[in-house]
Amino acid sequence: MSYSDTTCPGYYCGRTLLPDGKLSNCGACPRGSRRNDTNFLCEPCLDTPTFYDWFYLGFNVLLVLVLHLSFIDMVIMRRRFNKAIIILHTTAILEVIISGIVSLLLMHPQGEFKINICKVRNLADWYTLWQNPSPNYEKQIYCTQEAVYPLYTIVFVFHVCALFSMLLIRPWICRIYYPMQSKMSVYAAMYFIPILMVVHALIGGLLYYSFPYLIVILSVISCASHFAKKLDQSAASLMITTVLVPRNMIIVIGHWIMHAYGIISITQLTNPTDHALLILLIPVPTLFYICTAKFTDPSKFHV
């Protein structure tokens, strides 16, 4: 018997039950379903997101939020917080929160604060486009589908919601506070959000497996960059300006939160007692930079 009578080729081709009670030919499963490996029927995905899945979705939300806050801080060019800057930052946070909630409510089951997913099995699940089989090297069967539903599409939905919520809310705030400068943060978001969508489309699967390590590495580099911008690199000055200047303290605490997020994502707290102790290591990169900055003066290496 041929594969059309018993099985389906490839990893993602499946059958659906037709209205007349017969089975369809092998092909792509409908959205929100995936074939089983027993009888090759397409079955609805009813898995619950894992701890790691939620942190992956949170990573995409935090990435947009951090970029929003960074560009607002960059274009305003103020070294101390005031009412206007706090309002702009709060607006960006509200935009991201609203976008995240709307994205979650739009996914199946709609209108509920939960989602059903197709469990991620391997990296190939993110790139089913390259998994269309050609039985006997003849006609290719197209079975491209979202095998990780909705972990792939929900990120695009969130990016679109984030862009629209920003365009609906931020311009009104910018007209009141720093109209000439703050509007640049809107233009920046109109660039980096589409760029994030392209990046997700191309390497979403790679990010799924590597985001915890990227968070830890990039947060350490960013923290070092923050301190490197200080003119006075003495340990006393770095410590005092960090503790006494609210802006610097908030930036450092933000880096610590990202450190913790990355560590929790990597360990998933499978061993709560031991892994929780790793949280105590969060301030180490900051303290290491402050204590060793005096040894990195270029004058010490160039006589």
Indicate whether 154 and 137 sit together in one domain: no
Q: Which of 149, 167, 199 is the last residue of a domain?
A: 149
| pLDDT value, residue 250 | 92
Q: Provide the residue range defining the domain that includes 139.
A: 1-44+121-149
Q: Is residue 209 part of a domain?
A: yes
In a domain, 300, yes or no: no
- 15 and 139 together in one domain: yes
Phi, psi (rounded to 5 degrees) for 8: -125, 140
Does residue 137 share a domain with residue 274? no
Within this chain, do residues 81 and 24 fall inside the same structural domain, yes or no? no
Final residue before a domain boundary, out of 149, 169, 202 = 149
pLDDT at position 4, please?
47
Nearest to 154 by CA among 212, 211, 200, 94: 200
Q: What is the pTM of this model?
A: 0.93
57 and 140 both lie in a single domain: no
Going by the DSSP 8-state scheme, the letter that residue 138 receives in this structure is: S
In a domain, 16, yes or no: yes
Q: Both 66 and 139 in a single domain?
A: no
Total domains present in the chain = 2
Cα–Cα distance between 163 and 75 in angstroms, integer?
Answer: 19
Q: Are residues 243 and 135 in the same domain?
A: no
Do 39 and 172 belong to one domain? no
Based on the fold, state whether residues 266 and 223 are members of the same structural domain: yes
Contacts 24+ apart (CB under 8 A), 177-186: 177/84, 177/85, 177/87, 177/88, 178/76, 178/84, 178/88, 181/75, 181/76, 181/77, 182/72, 182/75, 182/76, 182/88, 184/71, 184/75, 185/68, 185/71, 185/72, 185/74, 185/75, 185/88, 185/92
Q: What is the pLDDT of residue 183?
A: 84
pLDDT at 37: 85
Please tell me the predicted confidence (pLDDT) of residue 75: 81
Residue 169 lies in a domain: yes
Residues 88 and 226 grouped into a single domain: yes
**Inside any domain, residue 303:** no
Of 134, 149, 164, which residue constitutes the final position of a domain? 149
pLDDT attached to residue 127: 96
Looking at the fold, whether 22 and 59 belong to one and the same domain comes out as no
- 10-residue mean pLDDT series, the chain (303 residues): 66 92 91 91 94 97 96 75 84 96 93 93 95 90 94 97 95 80 87 97 96 96 92 91 91 95 94 87 93 79 57
Asked if the structure places residue 156 within a domain, the reply is yes
Structural domain includes residue 302: no
pLDDT score at 6? 67
Q: Are 76 and 196 in a shared domain?
A: yes
